[in-house]
Amino acid sequence: MPSGSPDTHADTADRATDSDPNTFWYTQTYNTPDFGGLLPQGLGLVLRAGSSVKLAQLTVTSTSGFVAHIGAGDSPGGPFSTDSSPKTVTGTTTFPLQGKTAQYYVVWITQLPAQRYAEISEVTATS
């Protein structure tokens, strides 16, 4: 997963972990579900674990319907190693993780829904 361009909605990132399902982080709106051809490998929401941990799963809550997988790394800017299989996130979706130990995890979005943007209202972790 490469580094991407700066997130213009970075100021909403903390809403994905604030325990309030009525708030959310969201991506920009793109011309097509494949990011208008601007981000060929996708984009992500980086989450800090606080210290290096081996998580068993991440649960992502969203109404968007995007495709994503989870990555793990030791720096907020990556690199990130893939730590889950891809899934379509609709409602509450749990990603079983493959056991990497990391301080940072990323919800890496590879396909947007028909509305051409994604929202994440909550992310929770289980170790």
Chain-centroid distance of CA 52 in Å reads 18
Q: In tens digits, what is the pLDDT along the chain, a chain of 127 residues?
A: 444 455 567 888 999 999 999 999 999 999 999 998 898 899 999 999 989 999 999 999 998 799 999 999 999 999 999 999 999 999 999 999 999 999 999 999 999 999 999 999 999 999 9
Phi, psi of 11 (to 5 degrees): -70, -10
Q: Note the pTM of the prediction, 2 decimals.
A: 0.92
- As a whole number of angstroms, the distance between CA 124 and CA 47 comes to 10
3 sits in the region (left: phi over 0; alpha: psi -120 to 50; else beta) called beta
Q: Which two tokens stand for residue 44?
A: 């992500």
Query: What class has domain 10-126?
Result: mainly beta
Domain layout of the chain by residue ranges: 10-126
